[in-house]
Amino acid sequence: MNVKTISTQALKNKQAQKDIILLDVREPHEVSQGYIPLSYFTPLGQLSEESLPANPPHLPLVIYCRSGKRSADACLLLQEKNKNLDVCSLEGGIIAWKEGGGEVVKP
Protein backbone atom coordinates (compact mmCIF):
# COMPACT_ATOMS: atom_id res chain seq x y z
CA MET A 1 0.00 0.00 0.00
CA ASN A 2 1.38 3.41 -0.95
CA VAL A 3 1.46 6.30 1.46
CA LYS A 4 0.32 9.68 0.19
CA THR A 5 2.69 12.49 1.05
CA ILE A 6 2.46 16.26 1.17
CA SER A 7 5.29 18.76 0.72
CA THR A 8 5.97 21.50 3.22
CA GLN A 9 4.85 24.15 0.71
CA ALA A 10 1.58 22.35 -0.02
CA LEU A 11 1.02 21.99 3.73
CA LYS A 12 1.60 25.73 4.25
CA ASN A 13 -1.05 26.46 1.59
CA LYS A 14 -3.57 24.04 3.09
CA GLN A 15 -2.84 25.27 6.61
CA ALA A 16 -3.52 28.86 5.55
CA GLN A 17 -6.84 27.74 4.08
CA LYS A 18 -7.63 25.61 7.15
CA ASP A 19 -8.04 22.61 4.83
CA ILE A 20 -6.35 19.98 7.00
CA ILE A 21 -6.14 18.42 10.45
CA LEU A 22 -2.55 18.05 11.73
CA LEU A 23 -1.46 15.09 13.85
CA ASP A 24 1.98 14.85 15.45
CA VAL A 25 2.94 11.22 16.22
CA ARG A 26 6.23 12.01 18.00
CA GLU A 27 6.90 11.23 21.65
CA PRO A 28 6.09 13.87 24.32
CA HIS A 29 9.75 14.80 24.87
CA GLU A 30 10.07 15.54 21.14
CA VAL A 31 6.86 17.59 21.05
CA SER A 32 8.21 19.69 23.95
CA GLN A 33 11.00 20.86 21.60
CA GLY A 34 8.44 22.43 19.26
CA TYR A 35 5.49 21.54 17.05
CA ILE A 36 3.49 22.88 14.12
CA PRO A 37 0.72 25.22 15.35
CA LEU A 38 -2.76 23.73 15.79
CA SER A 39 -1.46 20.15 15.91
CA TYR A 40 -3.03 17.30 17.81
CA PHE A 41 -0.69 14.83 19.51
CA THR A 42 -0.82 11.05 19.74
CA PRO A 43 2.45 9.09 19.99
CA LEU A 44 2.72 6.43 17.29
CA GLY A 45 2.62 3.64 19.89
CA GLN A 46 -0.79 4.84 21.08
CA LEU A 47 -2.27 5.58 17.66
CA SER A 48 -5.58 4.02 16.71
CA GLU A 49 -8.60 5.13 14.74
CA GLU A 50 -10.32 5.88 18.05
CA SER A 51 -7.45 8.17 19.14
CA LEU A 52 -7.82 10.44 16.12
CA PRO A 53 -9.12 13.97 16.63
CA ALA A 54 -12.69 14.65 15.56
CA ASN A 55 -12.15 15.09 11.86
CA PRO A 56 -14.76 16.59 9.55
CA PRO A 57 -15.07 14.00 6.77
CA HIS A 58 -13.99 16.38 4.03
CA LEU A 59 -10.69 17.35 5.70
CA PRO A 60 -7.58 15.24 5.15
CA LEU A 61 -5.44 14.23 8.10
CA VAL A 62 -1.79 15.25 7.71
CA ILE A 63 0.48 13.23 9.97
CA TYR A 64 4.01 14.26 10.83
CA CYS A 65 6.94 13.20 12.97
CA ARG A 66 10.60 14.16 13.12
CA SER A 67 11.71 13.03 9.65
CA GLY A 68 8.77 11.29 7.97
CA LYS A 69 9.33 7.60 8.83
CA ARG A 70 6.92 7.30 11.77
CA SER A 71 4.28 9.40 10.02
CA ALA A 72 4.42 7.09 7.00
CA ASP A 73 4.08 4.10 9.36
CA ALA A 74 1.11 5.83 11.02
CA CYS A 75 -0.57 6.35 7.64
CA LEU A 76 -0.16 2.66 6.78
CA LEU A 77 -1.49 1.60 10.19
CA LEU A 78 -4.59 3.77 9.85
CA GLN A 79 -5.23 2.79 6.21
CA GLU A 80 -5.07 -0.90 7.16
CA LYS A 81 -7.86 -0.28 9.66
CA ASN A 82 -9.96 2.02 7.47
CA LYS A 83 -9.26 2.42 3.75
CA ASN A 84 -11.65 5.40 3.59
CA LEU A 85 -9.49 7.63 5.78
CA ASP A 86 -7.85 10.50 3.89
CA VAL A 87 -4.38 10.51 5.43
CA CYS A 88 -1.00 11.67 4.22
CA SER A 89 2.49 12.02 5.62
CA LEU A 90 4.50 15.26 5.70
CA GLU A 91 7.59 14.73 3.52
CA GLY A 92 10.71 15.10 5.66
CA GLY A 93 8.73 15.65 8.86
CA ILE A 94 9.15 18.63 11.12
CA ILE A 95 12.81 18.86 10.12
CA ALA A 96 11.82 19.74 6.54
CA TRP A 97 9.03 21.98 7.86
CA LYS A 98 11.54 24.04 9.88
CA GLU A 99 14.05 24.12 7.01
CA GLY A 100 11.28 25.41 4.73
CA GLY A 101 10.56 28.29 7.10
CA GLY A 102 7.44 26.76 8.63
CA GLU A 103 6.27 28.11 11.96
CA VAL A 104 7.04 26.05 15.06
CA VAL A 105 5.77 26.80 18.55
CA LYS A 106 7.07 25.56 21.88
CA PRO A 107 4.75 24.63 24.74
pLDDT of residue 57: 66
* Mean pLDDT to the nearest integer, 69-95: 95
Q: Which H helix or E strand runs over 76?
A: helix 69-81
pLDDT of residue 59: 84
pLDDT of residue 56: 65
* Mean pLDDT to the nearest integer, 35-60: 88
Residue 39 has pLDDT above 70, yes or no: yes
Q: Are 25 and 62 in contact (CB under 8 A)?
A: no
Given 20, 23, 25, 65, the catalytic residue: 65
User: Which CATH class, in words, describes the domain spanning 5-99?
Assistant: alpha beta
pLDDT of residue 18: 84
Torsion sign across C-alpha atoms 29, 101, 7, 10: positive
Our answer to whether residue 65 is catalytic in this structure is yes
Indicate the pTM of the whole model: 0.94
Q: In this structure, what DSSP letter does residue 69 have?
A: H
